[in-house]
Structure formats: C-alpha cells, structure tokens
Chains A and B, each alone.
Chain A
Amino acid sequence: MLRARGISKWFGSHCVLDRVDLDVRSGERVVILGANGCGKSTLLQIVAGVLETYEGAMTLPGVLGYAPEKPDMPDHLLAREWLDIVASLKRAPWRSEQAFGVDALLGRKIGALSLGQRQRISLVAAFTGNPPLIVLDEPTNALDVEACAALARRLDGATALIATHDRAFAERVQTRIVSMFTSSRVASGRDARRC
C-alpha cells in the first residue's frame, strides 16, 4: 500500500528526517509514537504530498485522505462549502458522517467552529471518497471521548497511518506501533524493526 525508502528531509541545515523507511500494508493501521519535534508530522506531510521536496523514494496508492494536525481550513467558508470543495477536488461526493456529528455544523462558518468541531469536519474531509490510505496527524486533538470512539470505529478495517500522543487511542486502533526518536533515528516498535 505504502512503501517509503530512505526518506530524508532537511529544513535549511536542520535534518528532520534521516533515511526513514516505512511500510504500510493493506489493512494495517500503523501508529507512530514519538516525542514532540521528532519528525512525525513532517513524515506524514511527505506521505500526504503536502511537502513535495524530500530525498528518497515512495510508492503511494494514489490520492490519500489526510487530516492535518491543525485543521487549517478557510474561516470564511461554511463547513458544507468546505466539504464540497474537498469533494470536488477528490472528484467524489462527501458523505455525512453521523458518527462525527457534523450535520449540525454544516451551515456554520468554519471560523465560528470550535477546535474540536473543526477537527470533526477535517476528519470527514479526510474520509471523503473512501481513500485507500488514511493519514491522520494527531486526530484526537480536541476531540471529545465520543468522537474519539467514533473515529476508532470508523478506522476498523481501514488502512491508516496515524501519528498521536494518545496512548489509549493508539492501543485501540493499531495493528502495529512504531516509535520515532529525535534526529529521526527510528527505533524498533512492537515488531522490532525500523519503521
């Protein structure tokens, strides 16, 4: 599904990722754990295509579903309009995710939504078009307990790459956990291998 080899990323003279290997097989939900600033979000942004310049090789299944750490959506749009734009770009209709409780938010401007409500909209956008791989960066940030449970249920059977600090959520959804350390030295996870 996803095969990345020797991924390195430099911001100026600062090396954020140093020859990272990563495999996500179909049906796997790989959770990346690691300290702040170790490069989890950078790795996910490279996988999602948000960061385009990096060293290494990557094989992807096509357009992914990506929910960034900060749901940075245009404040001037209605939530429904935002989902329409994402659906138009993905050329697939968006489905109202009852589990995330977004129906009541659709007619409101994104700028008027709380952080948790934005996160829900961002998750619906990520799942739009049933992408083959879901990439979620800190998806439980600002989500309440019910929404976290709904997200975990939604991920059942999906292929996903998730970065989180939420251990309980990670344990619930993972099929494999990998750890990243500062300076992007990737250590063994549950299956004792480089990620």
Chain B
Amino acid sequence: MLARSATADAFEAPGTRTLRSLRPPKTWMTLLMVSLLAFAQLPFALLMACGDGIMRGVSTTLLAVALVASSRDVLRSRYALGAFTCAAMMVVLDPSPALAVLPAAGLALVATGAAWRQALEGRRAAVRIVRPSPPVVALALSYLARMVRTARGRVGAAAMMFAAAGATLALTLRNDPDARPWQRAFVVFALPSSIASALLATPAVETEAQLRPWLRQTRTSPFVLVAAVALALATPSTAFASTAGVIAAAASHATASIAWATTSAAVSIACAVAPWARFAARSRRPSTFFLGVIGIAVLSTTLAAAC
C-alpha cells in the first residue's frame, strides 16, 4: 500500500482521454495496467520471491495490485469493494502461495478493470485547506495543498526520512542516553531534514512560479514570498520531526525534550532551504539546488557536532 501514492494517478494520467478515445481493447488495457501497477511493487515482489520462492512473490504482488487498484474506488464501485474485501481477507488468512496465486490474479484483474472503468467518472471531494488569512499564511497553505494533493509521494518520502532518523536516534540514545543527547539529535536529524526539505521545496517553488503573475500584480513583497515557502516547508518537517523525536525518546527511555531538539533542527534547516530553493529556481543549472542542499546539510551537521 506504500506504493499507492505513486500509482493512484495512473488511471488518470495525462493522455488518458486520448487513449480512451482510441478505444483500446479492454482486456489488453486491464492486463497492461496490472503490469504497470505490479512494476511499482517490484522491490517488494523481489524481496518476497527471494525469501519464500517465486510463487509467493507473484501472489503477493498480485494481491498488492488488487488492494492498490480497488482502494481508489472502494466507496464508488461494488466490484472495487468486493475485490478490496477479498484481497484483505487473503492477506489476513495468508493461504499457501500455490492456492493464492490464481484468486489473487483474478482479484487483481477485477480491481484493475473496475478502476479503469471508474477513472474520470464523477468528482472526488477535496477538503478545503486554504482559508482567507494573511498573505504569508494563504500562500503557505496553497503550497501545502499542492504537497498534499499532487505530491504525496514526496511527502511520504519525507516522512520515511524522518522515520529513519528517529530510528537512528533511538538506537544511539539507547546505547548512551545521557551523553549530550540534544547535540546527537541535531547531528542525526541534520541530513534527513535537509533531504526532506529539499523534497518538499520543489512543489512549493513550482506553485510560487505559477502564482507569479498574481503575486506581481498584487505587489507581494519578497519577504512574504520567502516566509511563505519557509512556513510551507517547516510545517510538515515540524510534524514529522517532533513525532519522530517523541517516539525515539520513548523507545530509548531518554528525556522527551529531545523532541524540541529534533523539531528545532527541522525548522532551522527548512528556513535555510526555503530561500535557497527560491534562489536556485532562477538558476539554469539543476545541480545548483542540490549542491546548496548538500552544503546546508554538511554545514548544519558540522555546527551541531562542534557545539
């Protein structure tokens, strides 16, 4: 299900309308979509195949495809609801691979066929995120809306970076909880925070570029623009870093105030990445941004280690 955010838009990708107008055979399209969704599961499939054999890898992949495809329309299609329920039951019951592979294939085909039929039908409700507010907040909310609605893969990757940092911090604190824990928290979170902020900066900067004509005509000040990007980057970073810090502290029986250190590291790095991302967006070299982020990561790690 981790791959869901990456594959959710496969049925409504650009060009889908043109493709549908060409009336491709439905059987072939379903098989192609199953292959596409299975491709996203390849790392897990290989892992399962290496551990429990090829049949286990195939059946697990097909079940994953059935779950991912049916979860899109579980509230809109009876076929999707049925496929999702059956696939979930198979995951719980965990039958032998030889028994599971054929039903899993059938479920994957039914779920994918239902998703292909339901795609482009109806409207998906979206929760209102942006509200009338001061310009900084309104802009930051619009960047966050972009992250949540169209860059979920990046948000998920950022969350995984912070989860990995939290696990690392928990391990190091468990070994020695009393030796300068705040400093170690800063050091451990510097690189993941930099990478996470870099991942989240792209949607924010792209949205700002799209808003530029409106920002110029309303004479919005550069300070507001930088602050809005920084706020947009700091919001998810703060949430992830504080959560990871609290869990790491609980897991290692260290002081809960470690969460302040992890949060401070995430916020300060987000505030450093934001102006750099805006500056690098004007550069012709894509490497400018990455080099700057690496520089920020190295600098913050060095500073934290030296304190």
Contacts and interface: CB of A to CB of B under 8 A. Distances in A.
B215 interface: yes
B145 A77 contact: yes
Interface stretch (B122-130, B153-161, B239-247): B122-130
Given A74-B210, A76-B150, A85 B217 contact: no
Contact of B128 (A50, A80, A93): A80
B130 A74 contact: no
Interface stretch (B33-41, B88-96, B131-139, B178-186): B131-139
Interface string A126-137: 000000000000
Contacts of B207: 74, 76
B130 A77 contact: yes
A50 B132 contact: no
A48 B217 contact: yes
Contact of B213 (A50, A76, A80): A50
A75 B151 CA distance: 13
Contacts of B139: 85, 88-89
Nearest to A63: B218
Given A74-B146, A78-B128, A89 B216 contact: no
A12 to B, nearest CB: 16
Given A77-B130, A81-B130, A85-B130, A72 B213 contact: yes
B217 A63 contact: yes
Given A50-B216, A74-B146, A93-B132, A85 B126 contact: no
Contact of B132 (A63, A78, A84, A109): A84
Contact of B123 (A74, A89, A112, A125): A112
Interface string A65-78: 01010001111111
Given A85-B130, A85-B138, A89-B214, A76 B145 contact: yes
A17 to B, nearest CB: 18
A44 to B, nearest CB: 11
Contact of A84 (B138, B149, B218): B138
Most B C-beta atoms less than 10 A away, residue of A77, A78, A86, A87: A77
A112 to B, nearest CB: 7
Nearest to A48: B217
B132 A88 contact: yes
Interface in B198-235: 207, 210-220
Interface in A46-99: 48-50, 52, 63-64, 66, 68, 72-78, 80-82, 84-91, 93
B194 interface: no
B219 A81 contact: no
A5 interface: no
A108 interface: yes
19 contacts: A48-B213, A48-B216, A50-B212, A76-B150, A76-B207, A77-B130, A78-B126, A85-B139, A85-B211, A86-B218, A88-B135, A89-B135, A89-B138, A89-B139, A89-B220, A90-B218, A91-B135, A108-B123, A112-B123
Given A63-B219, A84-B132, 4 more contacts: A63-B217, A74-B210, A81-B129, A89-B220
